[in-house]
Amino acid sequence: MSADDRDRAAPPAAEAVVLVGGRGVRLRPLTLSAPKPMLPTAGVPFLRHLLSRIRAAGIEHVVLGTSYKAEVFAEHFGDGSDLGLRLEYVVEPQPLDTAGAIRNVSDRLSADDVLVFNGDILSGVDLNELIATHRSTAADVTLHLVKVDDPSRFGCVPTDPDGRVTAFLEKTENPPVDQINAGCYVFRREVIDRIPAGRPVSVERETFPELLASGARVQGHVDTSYWLDMGTPQAFVRGSADLVLGVAPTNALPGEHGEALCLDGTSVDAGAQVSGGSAIGAGCVVESGASVVESVLFDGVRVARDAVVESSVIGAGATIGAGAVLRGAIIGDDAHIGAGCELLDGVRVWPGVTLPEHGVRFSADC
């Protein structure tokens, strides 16, 4: 075999798997029409931000593990060539949990090292450094671990002085360490092939503990990079704003941005305020006196005069009446919020619903 033949036969340096099969229940009603990773986030589907960072790390082959509304991903991304990627799609026949979903795509993989991403995490981890840690320690699996201010909200992952993971601890009021599982891993291919096939398997509750018990090397890559679980409405708004403001890394922002990002065809009156990292979709109208702060407006939204929209998400085609006040609200596609309504503290309005005018006030506590 010639040297050229050997090069062609060699497996790629690394491949990636992105798990995007969840139903996004915490983000309803927004996810009634699209999977969570496909929701407009800083002007493009959230998944595009992640894929752009994967490609920037030199990875070209990505497999998406899909389930809920699986067809939406292929319809938008196709073969991935516009991102410089080769994308493949594998649909789960039934919900398989994290490790089960990884095992379900294993026949599409050929690299020795496979990066695995949860599809709803916004992270600034250096992917090349993560891979370097994995290889330099000859690990079976390497976990990205991030330090957080309040680890009691998460399960903790302690490590020894060499960085080896020593345990997986459930949530506790007094966690012994401040580092948590950040939802990004590097697997040796052989480890993926040993995951049981055809049934639900959890990496946190089954795969990782079993690896530790068997003496396998489970390595931690600890850093303090940007990290956010985008699964809740509040986090979704925050993450989109951080992308627009440049706090969170991405190579996929469409067009110019500063305090806000406005897509093509948007009309913002000179007397309106759009700020705080807001993302304004294509064809939106923001009328005089209106204020949109740290919010996400999907395509075709109309915000009437003197309305206030703060820390909210407004679905495609929705209208916000004159003088309405929305703070921490989630509005479904094509809903109509009447003039003078006040929606506060996590109120959710389902698609197509019309709320009357005349100062109706709603809050999540009502």
Q: 255-363, what's its fold? A: UDP N-Acetylglucosamine Acyltransferase; domain 1 (2.160.10)
The pLDDT, as a whole number, for residue 16 is: 95
Q: 3-232, what's its fold? A: Spore Coat Polysaccharide Biosynthesis Protein SpsA; Chain A (3.90.550)
- β partners of residue 275: 293
- At 313, is the pLDDT very low, low, confident or very high (cuts 50, 70, 90)? very high
User: Does residue 52 register a pLDDT over 70?
Assistant: yes
CB contact burial 238-250 (16+ within 10 A = b; e otherwise): bbbbbbbbeebbb
| Cβ-contact 36, 230 below 8 angstroms | yes
| Cβ-contact 186, 115 below 8 angstroms | yes
* DSSP letter for each residue of 217-284: -EEEEEE---EEETTSHHHHHHHHHHHHHTSS--S---S--SSEEE-TT-EE-TT-EEETTEEE-TT-
Average pLDDT score over the chain: 88
User: Does residue 6 register a pLDDT over 70?
Assistant: no
Q: What is the mean pLDDT of residues 94-114?
A: 91
Q: What is the mean pLDDT of residues 130-135?
A: 94
User: Does residue 152 register a pLDDT over 90?
Assistant: no
Residues 317-366 have pLDDT tens digits of 999 999 999 999 999 999 999 999 999 988 999 999 999 886 566 655 44
Residue 37 phi/psi, 5-degree rounding, is: -70, -10
Closest CA to 321 of 284, 355, 349, 283: 355
- At 5, is the pLDDT very low, low, confident or very high (cuts 50, 70, 90)? very low
The pLDDT, as a whole number, for residue 7 is: 36
The C-alpha torsion from 249 through 54 and 18 to 76, rounded to 10°, is 90
Q: What is the mean pLDDT of residues 277-289?
A: 95
Show the tokens assigned to 272. 């309106």
The pLDDT, as a whole number, for residue 8 is: 41
Express as a percent the part of the chain with pLDDT over 90. Answer: 66
Integer CA distances (angstroms), 332 to 28, 298, 312, 324, 363, in order: 8, 10, 11, 16, 16
Residues 32-44 have pLDDT tens digits of 888 888 899 999 9
Closest CA to 267 of 316, 303, 224, 222: 303
Pairing of strands 361-363, 342-344: parallel
Q: Where are the domains of the chain?
A: 3-232, 255-363
Helices first, then strands: H and E counts in the chain? 8, 29
User: Does residue 99 register a pLDDT over 60?
Assistant: yes
- At 312, is the pLDDT very low, low, confident or very high (cuts 50, 70, 90)? very high
Residue with tokens 């929705």: 318
Residues 164-181 have pLDDT tens digits of 999 888 777 777 888 988
d(CA 30, CA 362): 19
Is residue 60 classed as helix, strand or coil in its secondary structure? coil
Closest CA to 208 of 170, 172, 171: 170
Express as a percent the part of the chain with pLDDT over 70. Answer: 94
Residues 211-255 have pLDDT tens digits of 999 999 999 999 888 999 888 889 999 999 999 999 999 988 887
Is residue 96 classed as helix, strand or coil in its secondary structure? coil
Show the tokens assigned to 45. 């589907």
Closest CA to 236 of 312, 145, 303: 312
| Cβ-contact 114, 187 below 8 angstroms | yes
Q: What is the mean pLDDT of residues 122-151?
A: 92
